[in-house]
Amino acid sequence: MRTTTRSALLLATAMALGSAVRAEEVTDAAADTADVIVVTGTRDQGYIVHSNSSAMRTDTPLLDVPQSVTVLSRERLDDQALLSIADALRYVPGAAFGQGEGHRDQIVLRGNNSTADFFVDGLRDDVQFYRDFYNIEQLEILKGPNAMIFGRGGGGGVINRVSKLPRATGFIAGDAAVDTFGAWRLGADINQPVAAGVNARLNAVYEDGANHRQIYDLQRWAVNPTLGFDLGGKGNLVIGYEHADDNRVVDRGVPSLNGAPLTGYRDTFFGRADVNRALFNADIASLSADYALTDTLTLRQRARYGDYDKLYRNLYPATAVSNGQFGVEAYSDAVQRQNLISQTDLVWKVKTGGIGHTVLAGIELGRQTTRGQRLQGYFSATADTVRATVPLADPFSAPLPIFRPGSTGTRDYRTRADIAAAFVQDQIAIGEHVEIVAGLRHDRFSLDFTNLLDGSRFQRTDSLWSPRVGLILKPVASASLYASYSRSYLPQSGDQFSSLDATTAALAPEKFENYEVGGKWDVLPMLNLTAAVYRLTRDNTRAAGPTPGTIVLTGEQRSQGLELAANGQISKRWQVSAGFAVQDAEIRSTTTAAPAGRKVPLVPHTQASLWSRYDVSDRFGFSAGIVHQASSFTTISNAVRLPAYTRVDAGLYASLTKGIDAQINIENLFNTGYFPTAHTDNNITTGGPRAARLTLRTKF
């Protein structure tokens, strides 16, 4: 099994789909939907989700969305015991995850790396931390530039979490889990009507984490109460608050040796227990409202305020191993951010001359203020020695760094980003077989950056036009073919606004343009097949100018590929999710980071995955999953390569009694050694050994 090839995986997928029989009628699929206070998407039975409201900003069947969208339902997240963005992306074609320096989510979608392209219910969620799934109904991965809907960034795609909302039916649910590393987790989900048309819901979680690394621990907890109000049968209002607290070891993996990850040190922690730590604290208030002004005109309001405080320190491998030793460096970073974002939409459904229109018009306003401070770690009290050479050993030992201002690595800044956007989109239905999507968004993004070390101040305002055009042909009601074009921008200040100087303040934003064709087919009522081919070009990337010290925007990166997926029910008892991607991402024109011809890091040429659950009876079931990933480079240097790997997972499920279920998930069943991701050429994550996780779930 360890040597399972891509061909074998594809053959298994084809055999599974080829033996499909028509799904049995599902009679209880709408039971939960009727109880939802605010509809942000359709809850479907099992793994398949037929529609959502984030891809088009209107409630639209996924068959009518002219782009590749992967939706992981709550049931699938639970079946696979997925607890993080990184875990979820293993089974998403064309998606990968970065190490994130051991303290944040970091994604690579269609060859584009981001720490900020995250959203909650369509609202920006760009702070650097690890996101939990305790309070969401589903996870959505939308591929390609999405600026028309989500605004700046999102060049390769975005990830959107859909929140759990109050319902009209009371229940008490909870889960408890423990794994073979000694990690444990408790979760609660309580919903209760409190008055006529008023419902309350409380989600909470506590986790004490551990893994295969010698020095690792994690304590995090979060609580999310929400209150929902029925607005006289014409709409709904939900207000919510969330507090999240995360305290964990920062683990940046192992160094490299001779152009490959260092082997034989899978569990060795190359840091210091008294240094490597990340502390995160967040308080978030949210509001969402939908109100039917008329039978055809709906007003929607979303708002979110977040106050975030983040501190992390780390000591990490900074060089490759040579002659039995390597260099280490360290730094400390603190960030405080406040986000206030408001979206107001009008959706108008009308027919003119037999042609249907779903017209979306809206505005988005936001302000994000950030204070960032960074101190270099020095290995001398008097000299600015930023690197120490240490022997390769297990257990590992390194000198204690001193975090202080010095001649290098010190940063202290304040930024204010103001966002004002307006957009309009029309979904045009011409008869039963042709649909056209056309939209345009204008963003005014203004960034004010103050360097508190020297008092210098820089300001940049960008006027961004983001179009989206799509054509959907529906030969039959259950299938669609589409072609689309979309564009997005990323200001030169980057994802996190952490740098702006005289040079970058004068440069236009990077531009992303995506051309995509694809098809979607509900081959069975509860089984969907999708295919997409795309070409995504990223230009206006910085490159060295003809005069030394100058910068010009002539750099270009291109990603192109094929994505195939199957998702849903083959029969009432058999659910499946399969994916396959072929992709190529390279530098087409020299940038400041790399010459033309270099391959983009963390982009394997092929990816394949298959997950399937089969219930042998109403009380017992089992599952199996396999993930294959070809080799990829750790960074744009192309000096270190992550080897290809294939990993097998499994699960067992039992209904113990009414309202109580148990499951065991086994990760890396055959104990394969692998390296799933990296941050630099010498911060390489080691894959964990075989591990089992027992989860008990209850709902009354």
Examine residue 643 and state whether it is found in any structural domain, yes or no.
Answer: no
- Asked whether 228 and 236 are in contact (CB, 8 A), the reply is yes
Ramachandran assignment for 477, one of left (phi > 0), alpha (psi -120 to 50 degrees), beta (any other): alpha
Ramachandran assignment for 656, one of left (phi > 0), alpha (psi -120 to 50 degrees), beta (any other): alpha
- Give 367-389 pLDDT, tens digit per residue: 999 999 999 999 998 899 999 99
pLDDT of residue 662: 98
CATH number at residue 68: 2.40.170.20
Instruction: For residue 179, give the nearest of 693, 664, 696, 691 by alpha carbon.
Output: 693
Say if residue 147's pLDDT is above 80. yes
Examine residue 642 and state whether it is found in any structural domain, yes or no.
Answer: no
Ramachandran assignment for 233, one of left (phi > 0), alpha (psi -120 to 50 degrees), beta (any other): left
Say if residue 395's pLDDT is above 70. yes
d(CA 185, CA 323): 43
pLDDT of residue 45: 65
Examine residue 23 and state whether it is found in any structural domain, yes or no.
Answer: no
Examine residue 416 and state whether it is found in any structural domain, yes or no.
Answer: yes
Q: How far from chain centre, in Å, is Cα 123?
A: 14
Say if residue 445's pLDDT is above 70. yes
Say if residue 614's pLDDT is above 60. yes
Which positions ≥6 away from 685 have C-beta within 8 Å?
Answer: 99, 253, 675, 676, 677, 678
Which of the four pLDDT bands, split at 50, 70 and 90, describes residue 40? very low
Residue range 625-632: mean pLDDT, rounded:
97
* Mean of all residue pLDDT scores within the chain: 92
d(CA 514, CA 560): 9
pLDDT of residue 113: 93
d(CA 559, CA 280): 34
Examine residue 470 and state whether it is found in any structural domain, yes or no.
Answer: yes
Say if residue 404's pLDDT is above 60. yes
d(CA 16, CA 74): 23
Examine residue 616 and state whether it is found in any structural domain, yes or no.
Answer: no
Tell me which residue range forms the domain holding 387.
42-535+557-571
- Give 16-27 pLDDT, tens digit per residue: 333 333 333 333
- pTM score: 0.92
d(CA 386, CA 407): 10
d(CA 678, CA 682): 8
Which of the four pLDDT bands, split at 50, 70 and 90, describes residue 546? confident
Top-confidence residue, 40 or 329: 329
- Give 107-131 pLDDT, tens digit per residue: 999 999 999 999 999 999 999 999 9
Percent of the chain scored above 90 by pLDDT? Answer: 87
pLDDT of residue 37: 38
Could you give the count of Cα atoms lying within 13 Å of 79 in the half-sphere of its Cβ? 24
Examine residue 684 and state whether it is found in any structural domain, yes or no.
Answer: no
Say if residue 91's pLDDT is above 50. yes
Examine residue 208 and state whether it is found in any structural domain, yes or no.
Answer: yes
Ramachandran assignment for 46, one of left (phi > 0), alpha (psi -120 to 50 degrees), beta (any other): left
Say if residue 695's pLDDT is above 70. yes
Number of domains in the chain: 1
pLDDT of residue 617: 96
pLDDT of residue 316: 98
- Asked whether 625 and 610 are in contact (CB, 8 A), the reply is yes
Ramachandran assignment for 40, one of left (phi > 0), alpha (psi -120 to 50 degrees), beta (any other): alpha
- Give 476-512 pLDDT, tens digit per residue: 999 999 999 999 999 888 788 887 887 888 888 999 9
Which of the four pLDDT bands, split at 50, 70 and 90, describes residue 36? very low
